[in-house]
Each structure stands twice: as structure tokens, then as C-alpha cells.
Amino acid sequence: MILAGKRLLITGVITKDSIAFHAAEQAQKEGAEIALTSFGRVRRMTERAAQKLDPVPEVLELDVNSPEDLAALTQTLERTWGRVDGALHAIAFAAEDALGGRFMTTPAESAAQAFQTSAFSLKSLAGALAPLMSRGSSIVGLDFDATVAWPIYDWMGVAKAALESVSRYLARDLGPQGIRVNLVAAGPLGTVAARGIPGFERLAELWRAQAPLGWDVEDPLPVARTICFLLSDYAQAISGEILHVDGGFHAIGAPLELPGDAPAAT
């Protein structure tokens, strides 16, 4: 029960397959009280997913690009909870013309939209919640390793690089208040959002070939547990970190078996 007594805001739950859903479910098992956010047409999907959690959490309106929604979120949480102990930022979006090998033809407005929704929004959410957070609070964001260029990921990859930088600056500015900011760089998982990326299966195949621990795109539990760890007091001295939960993929320079290799001796 490493999150016993904590009040956590979880963004990014769309369906029960969402990474954020599994993080929310695990957080409840670890003793946390949670609330979810959603907005617009997606909200009904979030509310259906919320029904599968126990206890069923409240779903609050939040378009993270809306200053009005952010202000209302602060007011609502101050009135209902009085404080927030942690939050998961699981928000990202890039238009179709910013993905799938269209890097050189992506219009500026699509690149800007990917940046605002996927990276600047971490600062926006932190700004809304920081007044309700005290020393020991934690903000965790979902990342996809942005130290290299990936096939098909294009401007979302650029946005994730920005997210990584934003997290470091937030760690700098919120650290004096005792608020930690970290990211979890997860391997590819078969969420609705991920499968909407053209060529997602190509990325999944890279992990199957190269992760020394192996990688199951259908198992979000290792990522969910790591998120809970970073939200807990066990991570009290960790901030500005990017924690890879990818089966060790990021540490390996080439596939463990190259085409034409003989089977390893036993």
C-alpha cells in the first residue's frame, strides 16, 4: 500500500486498455484515492472505463489546452480534496499529417499542435496543480524515448523531446516546493492511441527483437507499477529523471540476433 492516503489526479484514461487506466487501477490497489480527467466526446468513453475501477472515481472536465478548464480544475480539487498529492500526465496528440513518414511535409500548425498538447501541457497541468501540492508531491509524465529518431514517429518524437526538456525545467522550478517531476519512458504498448499511429507494428517488432528482457506489447503492468513507484514516497529523492520501462531496449545498440546469425550455443 505504497500510496495509502494519497490523492492522485490521473489524466489520459480513454478505455480500459489505456496505460493511464492501468496506472489508476494499480494506484487504487496501492491505497490511493483517485480522480480522472477527460473532455468533449471522449468523456463518455472515460466514464465507461471509470466504471471498471473500484471505487468508481469522479471524472472531471479538462481540456489541457483550455485556461478556463485548468482554472476550474484547480478550484474543483481545492473544494473537494483540499490538496493533491500527485498526478499522472498521460496526454499526447499529433495530427495524422505529423506522423507516419510525413516529417518533411508536416505543416507548422500541426507541429505546433503536437508540441502544445504533448509537451507544453505538462507545464500547464503542473501550474494548475502546484498550488494544491505540498512537499513530497509528485508529477509523473508518460514518455517515449526521444534521444533518437524513430521510424514513423516524426513530430510526435519531436514533441516527446520537448516533453523531456519541460520535465527537467519543471523539476528545477518546483523542486524548492518539494514537488518532484519525472517521466516514464515506456516501450510500445497496444493502446488505442498507439495503434492509431501508422506503422505501430514496426516499432513493436523492434522491441521484440532487441529488448534483452523481452517485451510484451499487451502487458502494461510493469509501466503502471513504475508510475506508482514514482508517485510514492519511495521515490522521495528522485526528480528530473526519465525512467525507462522497456525491457532494457534503450541500453542495447543492435538486435541481439542479427539476420543470418547461428543460434546461440546452449
Tally of CB atoms within 10 A around 260: 5
pLDDT digit string (tens) for 122-134?
999 999 999 999 9
pLDDT digit string (tens) for 201-260?
777 888 888 999 999 989 999 999 999 999 999 999 999 999 999 999 999 987 766 555
Q: What is the average pLDDT score of the chain?
A: 93
Q: What pLDDT is stored for residue 266 in this prediction?
A: 46
Tell me the CA distances in angstroms from 21 to 2, 14, 37, 52, 236, one per residue in order. Answer: 18, 8, 11, 9, 24
pLDDT digit string (tens) for 75-100?
999 999 999 999 999 999 999 999 98
Q: Which residues are catalytic?
A: 153, 160
Please provide residue 200's backbone torsions phi and psi, each rounded to the nearest 5 degrees.
Answer: -55, -40
State in words which class domain 7-249 has: alpha beta
Collapsing DSSP to helix, strand or coil, 242 comes out as strand
C-beta separation of 19 from 26 below 8 A? no
The pTM of this model reads: 0.93
Q: Is the pLDDT of residue 74 over 90?
A: yes
* DSSP for residue 7: E
Tell me the CA distances in angstroms from 20 to 32, 86, 110, 147, one per residue in order. Answer: 14, 14, 25, 23
**In angstroms, rounded to a whole number, what is the distance separating the alpha carbons of residues 199 and 202?**
5
Cell of 252: 542495447
